[in-house]
Structure 1
Amino acid sequence: MSVDRDPRSVLESYYEYVDAGETDALLELFADDIRYERPGQGAIDGIEELREFYERDRPLEDGTHEVDRMIVVDGHAAVRGRFSGVQDGDDVTFGFADHHEFEDGLIVERWSYTDRDTV
């Protein structure tokens, strides 16, 4: 699947792929040395750790992201929205704020902030 490497298009694809569980397509949006931070949880370093997270360790499932606002400026992107889905067998809905850094059309750093302890 070909993705436009404009940050806005990459992020639109990111949320689509996450919600559809398309891990291989999702990982193509990230640099090999990706760093993903979720405050209060361990950082994810590198594409293989990211693969493990999405295939095995991510506590969220069967859900969808609804993006309310996306701001992209000079390789930096901020996204605000809501996630509705399942976590540990329970229905959940919560707000999120994500920040992404881009180089050469790929996500090189990502931070996710929510009001939940683990996501």
Structure 2
Amino acid sequence: MAENQAAAEQVRRYYRLVDQDDVAGLVALFAEDAVYRRPGYEQLTGRAQLREFYRNRRVIAHGRHVLRRMTVAGDDVTVEGSFGGTLRDGRQVEVEFADIFVLNTRLLFQRRTTYFFAPLV
């Protein structure tokens, strides 16, 4: 049970850091060889690619995630929520999303997959 709570808190920490635009902090939550899959982008592998993505390629400029449901099962944490914010081109967006995180034994994200209920956010 304590491991489930720690995994859930690690995922909550991720969303706080991404909403604060703390790229160094959020990238540190990922394993060195982590894999991230997200619609509209090639697969990202490793912290260097993640850092580049969050600093330069992510279409979102800033915003806020609202977590509506989180399920922890073993090493997996699934999140459903919504995001509201501004894209780099100035457009305002409101979108629902689902994330699947797979954590390693050190509670770092080994794999993350994101799904959006919208075309290419």
For the criterion TM > 0.5, the same-fold answer is yes
Question: What is the match of residue 90 of structure 2?
Answer: 89
Partner of 1:31: 31
Residue-pair matches, total: 115
Aligned residues of 1:85 and 1:92 also touching (Cα < 8 A)? yes
Name the residue aligned to 2:102.
Answer: 101
> Runs of 4 or more off by more than 3 Å in structure 1?
none
Q: 2:91 is matched by which residue type in structure 1?
A: D
Q: Structure 2: 5+ residue runs without aligned partners?
A: none
Quote the Cα distance in structure 1 between the aligned partners of 2:41 and 2:24: 24
Root-mean-square deviation (CA), in Å?
1.3
Aligned position for 2:115: 113
Once the two structures are superposed, the pairs formed by residues 54-73 of structure 1 within 5 Å of their partners are: 54-73=54-73
Q: CA deviation at 1:61?
A: 1.7
Kindly provide the amino acid, as one letter, of the partner of residue 95 in structure 1: E
Output the TM-score relative to the length of structure 2.
0.90
Flag structure 1 segments of 5+ consecutive residues without an equivalent: none
The percent of aligned pairs where both chains have the same amino acid is 34
**Counterpart position of 1:15:** 15
Residue 46 of structure 1 corresponds to: 46
What displacement does 1:6 show?
1.7
1:6 aligns with 2:6: yes
Q: What TM-score does the superposition give when structure 1 sets the normalisation length?
A: 0.91
CA–CA distance in structure 2, aligned partners of residues 22 and 41 of structure 1:
21
- Partner Cα distance (1:40, 1:62) in 2: 18
Distance 2:53 2:7 in 1: 22
Deviation per CA, 1:40-73: give whole Å up to 9, x if none. 4311111100000001111012200000000111
